[in-house]
Copies of this chain bind each other. A is one copy, B any other.
Amino acid sequence: MLFEHKPIRMEIWPNMSLKEFTKELEGAGFTAKRLAEAIEIYKRMLDDKECYKVLGAGGALIAGGMRNVFVKLIHAKMIDALILTGSILTHDLIESFGVQHYQGKAIVDDVKLAKEGTMRIYDVFLPKQGFLVHEEEIQKILPKLPQKELSPSELLFELGKHIKDENSIIRACTDTNTKIFAPSITDSMLGFQIWMYSQTSALKMNPQLDIRDIMDIVWKKNRFGLVILGGGVGKHFLAGMMQVSGKSLNYAIQITLDRPEHGGVSGMHLDEAKSWKKLAPDALSTNIVCDVTLAFPLLVASLLDYKKT
């Protein structure tokens, strides 16, 4: 815990800057304080020149509007690698190919939506056309990639070269040489499209090869930081590989609404990872119980100009 022993005290006033606001959260309790801790921990990660910084993410973050937050973080060189679900990658591509998500509502007749060709993600709508365009466009790009066996991270790096949309997470990663690992990519439309294409081509993708690619880094680096959005493989994959290598995370920030009491990895309190030696005994960490769509942009927007002013 970074913020301890201080009296609880925060103030607000008209026309605050975002930085003034998040600075005030340093004097609060509960989630407000946790967010301020996350900003401070991220700054220390940025100051720690040895630290390899990874962002692991799961959940409907493209539908939630987080694309630009990812892209700004990547372009600011504040992250070295991402671990993403196939769904985040698929939805990033859908938007890159010109189909947008729309604000909708959560209480609605889903059978009627289906008839209208609208898919619902809680209170966000996606036209069915998104998946048709995704199939069409991705099948045009895949022949342009190296026609051999690739890891997801290799494939995604190559894929990024063929994306025109500057707000694409995949392209931003290729442009900045930021790695994307996707060990569970099989479970997504992108995974399915790649499998379809590989039926009649020499391009094969094997997610197991992302173990090779991430182990290359784990062996080389000695200090690590992990920012976890939502949970799942984005939380588990790096830490699991570090455990194998006898290394531990030095910084960890978690933003999720999942609960810890049923033992599932997504909601797991970060302290638990200390018993596994996945988190160093003296690591700086904080657990933020919040929807990513609110806490993640607050975190990144507060950091964007760090070390630049």
Binding site for B on A (CB under 8 A): 1, 3-21, 24-25, 27-33, 35, 58-60, 63-66, 68-69, 72, 87, 100-107, 110-111, 113-114, 118-124, 183-184, 186-189, 191-192, 194-195, 198, 204-208, 210-212, 230, 232-233, 236-237, 240-241, 244, 257-266, 268-269, 271-277, 281, 287, 289-295, 297-298, 300-301, 304-305, 308-309
| Contact residue among B6, B24, B30, B194 (Cβ-Cβ distance under 8 Å from A102) | B6
Least CB separation from A302: chain B residue: B16
| Contact residue among B29, B100, B195, B237 (Cβ-Cβ distance under 8 Å from A263) | B29
| Contact A64–B14 (Cβ < 8 Å) | no
- Number of identical monomers bound together in the oligomeric complex: 4
| Contact A28–B64 (Cβ < 8 Å) | yes
Per the bound structure, the CA–CA distance linking A31 and B7 in Å amounts to 29
| List of 6 A-B pairs having minimum Cβ-Cβ separation, nearest first | A60-B263, A28-B65, A14-B305, A31-B291, A184-B184, A110-B274
Residue numbers in B under 8 Å from A305 (CB-CB): 14-15
| Contact A212–B192 (Cβ < 8 Å) | no
Per the bound structure, the CA–CA distance linking A205 and B10 in Å amounts to 33
Q: How far is the CB of A61 from chain B (nearest CB, A)?
A: 8
Q: How far is the CB of A173 from chain B (nearest CB, A)?
A: 18
| Contact A19–B15 (Cβ < 8 Å) | yes
For this complex, 30 residue pairs linking A to B, each with C-beta atoms less than 8 Å apart, are A4-B102, A4-B103, A4-B105, A8-B63, A8-B100, A9-B68, A12-B300, A14-B304, A18-B21, A28-B66, A29-B124, A30-B63, A30-B123, A30-B263, A30-B291, A58-B264, A60-B265, A106-B261, A107-B269, A110-B275, A121-B272, A124-B263, A183-B191, A184-B184, A186-B207, A192-B240, A206-B207, A230-B264, A257-B289, A294-B294
